Each structure stands twice: as C-alpha cells, then as structure tokens.
Structure 1
Amino acid sequence: MKNPSRLFLLLFTTCAALSASAQEPQAFDRLTFHAAPKPLAEEAKTSGWPRVLGPADDATSPETHLLQTWPPEGPKTVWEVAMGEGYNSPAISGDHCLIFHALDGKETLECLHRETGKRFWSHAYPISYQDRYGFGNGPRGSPVIANGVVITFGVTAELHAVDLKTGKPLWKQDLRAKFHVPQDFFGAGGSPLILDGRVIVNVGGKKAPIDDSEGLRDRKERLAEAGVSVAAFDLKTGDVVWTIEDAWGASYASPIPAKLHGQTKMLIYAGGESDPAIGGLMCIDPKSGKLHDKFPWRDDEYIQATGTSPVVIPDKNRAFITTAYPKGRPLGGVMVEYDAEFKAKEVWQSKKLGVHWMNPVYHEGHLYAIDGETEPKSRLVCVNAATGAEVWTQKIEWDDAELGRQTGRAKPVRLSILRASLLKADGAFLCLGEVGSLHWLDLSPAGAKVLAQAQPFYALNTWSLPALSHGLLYVRQQTKDLMQKTGERVICLDLRGE
C-alpha cells in the first residue's frame, strides 16, 4: 500500500458523509406524536410539495385516494410541532418536511420526518425585525426545495441555501445589504422560484440604503426609485447570474413559471411600498434575465400589499392577476394574453374578483377564489376564465354549538370560511378557513357543495395554504387556539383513504 494514511482519510471521509446523509430523526421537546397514519392505498398517486403553491405552482396536487368522508371529530392528527412566528407553508420532499419560522430571536429552518414529526436537523441564525403593523415578526416566504437544496428567503431579506439531507449551510446572500432592500410593509415576503439551477427572487432593491427613520415623505419618494427589482442566483454557489433593474419593488407574491408559445418564461406580480404605488405583471426570460414585458396593474394608493401570485391558464398563453386593494374600491383582477413577442394585452378585467392573498385556482375553464379585502366582505366566487363573467357567489357558513358553549353564549356561534385558501386534489377542493375550519368542497359552475367539514382548531389569522404530500395534510396554526389554548403550531393530518 503506497499511501495508507491517504486511504484511511478517504475511508473516514466517506463514512462520515454516509453517516451525515443517513442520520436518524430524533424526537424533541416541541413535538407531540399522536398516532401513525394509515398505510397508503395500493393505487394511490403521491407527490411532494416542494414549493409554496405545490408541485405545479398552481395550488393543485396530483394525489389520489384521499379520505373525503370524515368522522365528526375530523381527520386524525398524526403529529404536531409547536412553532414560533411566521406566515408561510411547509415544503415536503421525500421523507423531509421543512418548516420555517422565527423562534427565540432567530429565523429557524427545521427538517422533520414527514410521518413522525421527528427532527433530522435544524439551521438558525439571528434576525432583528419588528413588524410595523403588529402581524408577527417571523418569515413570510416559504421554504423551496430542488436538487437536494433548501432555499429560504427571510423577513429581513436574507437568502440561505442549505443541504436537504444534512442541514449543512451551503451559501447565503444578505440582499438587504447587497441590494439595499427596504423593510416594506411587512418585511420581505415572497417565496423564491428555483428554475433550471437558478434561484429567482423578486428582490425589490434600491440604488442606496433607505433609513427607516427618514421622514415619511422622503421615504415614500425614495421607495419609488429604481434598483435591482429581480435577481437570479446560482443554486450551487449563490453567485449572481443576472439582475433586472427597475423601480417596481418586491411584492408578497411568488414568481411563477409559465409555458408561453412553447417556451418557458417566468411571471412575477411585482410592486412594493411606494407613493404613488407602482407595480404589475412582469414577463421574464429565466435563462437570460431579459425583461420581455411590464403590464401595470396597481392603484396609486399608498397602502397596498400584493400577495397573490399569477395564475397561468394552460394552453392559452394567458395569465390572471388580482388584488383586493385599494380599500372600498378594489382594482380587482385582470386576464392578459401574451403574443409571440411575449407582450401582454388585456383580455378582460373584473372588480368582482379582488383577492387579498389566497391564490385563485383554475379548473375546467373557471377560476375559483375568495373575493374581498376584509372578513365581512369575503365571498367564494366562480368566474368564467374566458370572459370574466361571474358565474356565482356563495358564502360557506354554519352554526357552531360547541364554540357557543365554550364561550358562554346561549346560542351557537355563526362561523364562515371567510378569507379561506383553496387546494384542488383528488377531484375536489380542500378549503382551509380563516378561523381554522377544514372542508372538502365540490366546486363547479353549478355551485359549491360541502362534502365534509371539520374544525382542527379555532384560531384567527389562518392565512397559509396547507401542504399535501403522500396522503398527509400539513396545516399551519398561526395564533392561539380560542378553545384549546394551544399556540402557534404545524399539524399533520391523516387524509389517506382506501
């Protein structure tokens, strides 16, 4: 043997790498395990949930053989994990479930076992952030997974890449420092898009730093200045691949891939804090960073935060964007169509479809969504995607006797789904209500029919889309339960059917 020490080092390194990649998840103090899920049906189709709107970026899942008839107490809880602050969704790849939140002054990314909730690893770093409107100090963007890498974009605009199996930090970029990203209304909040080995972010940077202590008038004017609006980073190294300089800032929506005229493009509904408010739909080539088109769609009112990502209409070269702002006279939604040069032209617009943050779901020629900026004005609507005509509107409401008893009332409490989220799967729609209700809905141009209903918790501000993978539903509870008094948590529910 010519070099035994070199051989020993090679063997040691290999064994260490194998050990790190095959580490066993461990129980921890914030985990409560309830019961193992049922086995998957033999013919069930399954999928991961690698990003905020699911595997197809449209709030749909290809999963089948899901449980659509529930007992009175609802689907069984598999496990739950107490969490810190944040408004986002888990991401799932293989056996790994990623959660991202602010805990004890640190933005914390944790990798849990999909079926047990046990933890593989945790990655955390300190942040200093105070929400100006009191809506929590945690991240708004959700984890994104691709090619064995987890990407997070935190509330202070830190972009991190972590190895999925080991939790080892790979690289990071402080976009606030690098591109002078202002705090904006609720901090940084859009989820990145990973496409063709690039991490694409609606950055919303400026030419120079903006001091939060500046006078409001000066600050508003500075926020309308140009800077790096969108940037792409190499997934492996974190190096900047391309940037787009523009005055349109960063919204709370996420970039979406779109097949237009046979080519893959990227759509971003951009627009951050500025006065007058500017922004709209960008069409970008993800490889070169070429900005094909800007379609303005924003009122000039100062206070408005865009949270709904574009909805791509398959095989039509069309996309829909929507906002519930400005208050009292919403701009609503607009359908655009792209020509062969990737320039957008308005097809129709409607003030009857103004969505606050949930993503409309396209299904068989129609859009299903929650219209309305505030809880009292919210309504479930069906709109013809070809014409923009409203087909129907319906409120999903019910009387809750148990909540009435627990709150000392003589009569049941009238509840509603309010500003709910919709997720299409297995031929129906899962609906997560704003106060923690869960429903299976049959939605069609004929109307909305409730197939099943449960109440996993009673908690306000249930604003994040659930994640669905391998027959398990992962739901974020973002405020204290009104009855059980449990705090913020993520709950894994068993939806596996026969």
Structure 2
Amino acid sequence: MHLSSPKASRRWPVCFLWFALTAPTCASDWPQFLGPARNGAYPGSDLADSWPKDGPPVLWKKKIGQGFSGPAVSSGKLILFHRLDDKETVESLDANNGKSFWSFDYPTGYRDDFGFDEGPRATPTISEGKVFTFGAEGVLHCLDLSTGKKIWSANVKSRFEAAKGFFGMACSPLIEGNAVLLNIGGANGAGVVAFDKANGRLLWKATEDEASYSSPVAATLDGRRYAFFFTRRGLVALDPSSGKVFFDFPWRPRIQASVSAAAPLVIDDLIFLSASYQTGAVLLRVKDNQVEKIWSNDDSLSNHYATSVYHDGFLYGFDGRQESGPSLRCVELKTGKVRWSEDRFGAGTVTLAGHTLLVLRENGELMLAPASPDGFKPAARAQVLPNGARAYPAVADGHIYARSKDALVCVDLRKPK
C-alpha cells in the first residue's frame, strides 16, 4: 500500500482550460453512485437549458488510469478510483481545477477474463469525512477524506469466498446509519454483508444469493426502512440495521451468461426492476411488508448496465443489451407503455436534472433534452470525451464530471451569470 503527497501523486498532468470554479456546496454534492438520493437525479436548479454553439465550457481535464468507476464529489473534493499499472488507486482531487490533494494505492492482480478494462468498477462513497471504495478483487477500504490515510480494510474474497463473477466485483458501497452494505455473493449466508463504517467490524450477513452487478438502494416505505438489493437471483428487501430479510422477489436473466446491473428504482411505494437477457422489466408495489406485481414484460425497458430515471410519471432509460446498440426510451411507469423510442441510439447513461435529461453516450457525446413523454428533442449536444464513456458521471454544483477509458473531464453546465 502507498500513500503519497500531492506532489508525488501528479503522475499525469492536468490541463487547465478555464479559471477556478466556485467552491461546491454541500447541497449540490454527488457523494455516491447515482447521486445524493441514489436515483440518478441532480437536486440543483442551476443548470442552463441551452449551451453555446461550440458546447459548454470545459474547465479542466486529466489523463487517468483504467476503470469503470464513476467519480464522487463532496465539499469541493472529487474522489477518483482507477487503476495505474498494477495498483488500484484512490485519488482526492480539487473539484475546481483537478489538482491532487492526496493519493492512496494498493496492489491488484485483477485480470479480466473477457479482455475488458481491468480497473475498478464500483463508484466510491463519501460519508461523514470518510471515503469507501470497493475494488474489482473484493477489497473494501475506508479512508480519511482529508488525508487519504487508511482507517480500515476488508477483503471479502478471502473472508467470505466471494466469487469473481464474469467481470470482477462491482457493488458501489451503500451507507446506512453506521453500516456499509455490499452485495458480494459470498458463501455460507454472506450474499449480502454489512460492516461497521467506523472500524470494519462485521455487523451481519444475509442470503445465499450470488452477487449481481447492481448496487443497493435504501428507502422508507410505510414507516419502515428498507435496503433493496437486486442480486443475481432477484430483489431482496431487508432491514439495513439487522440484515433481517422482509421479502424477496425472484427476477433474473434466463441464461447463465448474463449480467444484471441496473439498480432498483424506488418511487413512492413502487419498485422498478429491469434486466436484459429475455427477462425485461417489472413494476412492484410494496404493501404491508409484502410485494405484489403490477406489470412485467420484455418489450418496454430492459436495462442492461445503466439505471433508468423517473420524472412525472415516466421512466427514461436504455432498452437492450449494451453491445447490441440499445434504444433510448420513455415508458409510462404505471403501465409499461412505451411513449417514444430512439432506436439504435447506442449505450450511455441518463441523469435527471429538474425537468431535463442529461444523456452521456458511450461515444462521449453529452446531450441536453427535456424530460418529456412527447418525444426526445435534444436542445443541445457536445462532444466532451473520446469514445469509451461507460462510467456514470457526477453532477455537482452545476458541473458534470465524466470519465472515459483514460480521461476525466469537468464541464460547466451552469446558467450564464
């Protein structure tokens, strides 16, 4: 393991393209996978509804290492998790300019069996002055946000016999109270585990489910707090404080060589689940600590990797497998009816910002469009990254932070002053 000073960690230069930004506020942080509410929505109201002809200003960019891990941003600090040579590396950057505050790394021997990227998959989580990262080989770290000093670590592969899966381990840590929750697919009842976030002590373990590539979410329904995991077998709802399983709902791909990666999406008392591989989407209602199916099909919105977003009665997301050129769609939540479909659109991610969709395509194009069931009508578009933008971006303080295979960029999306 290695902890370096800011000077030592500047292995690659930062290219400054603009003057310093305003320091991010806590209200506009993006501290974890899918944002502050873990639903893909940016809560700020400071984004412009159109861009200059030559695109929004690129404030800085930085060459980075391998990985599908998205950035996390809190209180002006951006946490980048990537692979440099044979080390998984956590870096704290100044969100204003990309300069490095600190860097922490440790050895990795991960090799991808299918020849894909060999960097970390899971997005870091920032909580109460700590950073939590989960590497492709199953090493969970808790670091001090200010200094990068290691507080504790846990290896779930060796401790719980967690399997590598098709593409390594990829669960973005969920913080609930004093617990760090992970979907790991370990043996002997360790499908889901919880660690004390202060010291790494195991709090509980639950289920025999294999791990998926989906990350958990938490929500309160009917006064009860739930943690929802979309495991390889289906939905599991449990008590985040004890690991007690309240209910489950089998929903898995129909072939073994498959990946379920979209997170559960909770809207009031409804849960939307989606997978590819001839399975499709299902809408569930939670009532009296039980679950009932509202609708399901494989024709509406079969998510592969990217999680859909919800706005005013409609879902917006990708239908179809990533490698097959998925469609971008709008689907009515209550019925599953497709309102519009941009066929063969290509893969990407969708972030909701007020009444607007921010669509980052895998080819590096960023698009701005109203979230409307009347059609997909982009108001602006700009090429912000080279091809290979598969990680989820972060939107914080009016800026989008996005990465491709080897580049991290900060783009100013704020309204003109």
The TM-score, its normalising length taken from structure 1, stands at 0.79
SS at match of 2:28: coil
The answer to whether structure 1 residue 303 and structure 2 residue 257 are counterparts is yes
The answer to whether structure 1 residue 320 and structure 2 residue 320 are counterparts is no
Aligned position for 1:286: 240
Contact 2:254/2:279 (8 A) holds in 1? no
Contact 2:253/2:275 (8 A) holds in 1? no
Contact 1:417/1:432 (8 A) holds in 2? no
Equivalent in 436, 456, 461 of residue 384 of structure 2: 456
TM-fit CA distance, 1:24 = 8.0
The answer to whether structure 1 residue 173 and structure 2 residue 154 are counterparts is yes
Distance 1:446 1:118, change over 3 A: same
Query: Which protein is richer in helix relative to its size?
Result: 1
TM-fit CA distance, 1:298 = 1.0
Query: Which protein is richer in strand relative to its size?
Result: 2
Instruction: Name the CA distance, whole Å, in 2 between partners of 1:464 and 1:33.
Output: 21
Equivalent in 437, 447, 451 of residue 375 of structure 2: 447
SS at match of 1:177: helix
Instruction: Name the CA distance, whole Å, in 2 between partners of 1:300 and 1:133.
Output: 21
The answer to whether structure 1 residue 360 and structure 2 residue 308 are counterparts is yes
SS at match of 2:261: coil
Instruction: Name the CA distance, whole Å, in 2 between partners of 1:161 and 1:201.
Output: 13
Q: Alpha-carbon deviations, 1:160-179, whole Å to 9, x = none? A: 00000011100000111100
Aligned position for 1:483: none
Instruction: Name the CA distance, whole Å, in 1 between partners of 2:286 and 2:70.
Output: 31
Distance 1:187 1:388, change over 3 A: same
For 1:334, the aligned partner's letter is V
TM-fit CA distance, 1:263 = 1.9
SS at match of 1:463: coil
Aligned residues: 412
SS at match of 2:379: strand
Instruction: Name the CA distance, whole Å, in 1 between partners of 2:252 and 2:291.
Output: 15
The answer to whether structure 1 residue 431 and structure 2 residue 359 are counterparts is yes
Aligned position for 2:176: 195
For 1:149, the aligned partner's letter is K
Instruction: Name the CA distance, whole Å, in 1 between partners of 2:28 and 2:131.
Output: 17
The answer to whether structure 1 residue 345 and structure 2 residue 307 are counterparts is no
The answer to whether structure 1 residue 28 and structure 2 residue 17 are counterparts is no
Q: Alpha-carbon deviations, 1:309-334, whole Å to 9, x = none? A: 000012xx110110111xxxx21100
Contact 2:6/2:103 (8 A) holds in 1? no
For 1:131, the aligned partner's letter is D
Contact 1:258/1:312 (8 A) holds in 2? yes
SS at match of 1:422: strand
Q: Alpha-carbon deviations, 1:239-276, whole Å to 9, x = none? A: 00111031x111111110122112221100001xxxxx
For 2:265, the aligned partner's letter is V
Contact 1:252/1:307 (8 A) holds in 2? yes
Aligned position for 1:230: 192
Aligned position for 1:391: 339
TM-fit CA distance, 1:46 = 4.9
Larger mean Cα displacement after TM superposition, 424-433 or 92-101? 424-433
Distance 1:173 1:79, change over 3 A: same
Q: Alpha-carbon deviations, 1:427-461, whole Å to 9, x = none? A: 311110111100101121111110101112331x3
Distance 1:46 1:495, change over 3 A: farther
Segments of 5+ residues of structure 2 without an aligned counterpart are: none
The answer to whether structure 1 residue 497 and structure 2 residue 412 are counterparts is no
Instruction: Name the CA distance, whole Å, in 2 between partners of 1:453 and 1:299.
Output: 34
For 2:220, the aligned partner's letter is K
Instruction: Name the CA distance, whole Å, in 2 between partners of 1:30 and 1:73.
Output: 27
Q: Alpha-carbon deviations, 1:95-130, whole Å to 9, x = none? A: 110000111100100000010111111110001111
Segments of 5+ residues of structure 1 without an aligned counterpart are: 1-22, 208-226, 272-278, 396-415, 479-487
Instruction: Name the CA distance, whole Å, in 2 between partners of 1:311 and 1:37.
Output: 38
Instruction: Name the CA distance, whole Å, in 2 between partners of 1:290 and 1:47.
Output: 33
Root mean square deviation of aligned Cα: 2.1
Aligned position for 1:94: 75
The answer to whether structure 1 residue 243 and structure 2 residue 216 are counterparts is no
Contact 2:132/2:140 (8 A) holds in 1? yes
Instruction: Name the CA distance, whole Å, in 2 between partners of 1:119 and 1:436.
Output: 24
Aligned position for 1:50: 31
The answer to whether structure 1 residue 333 and structure 2 residue 315 are counterparts is no
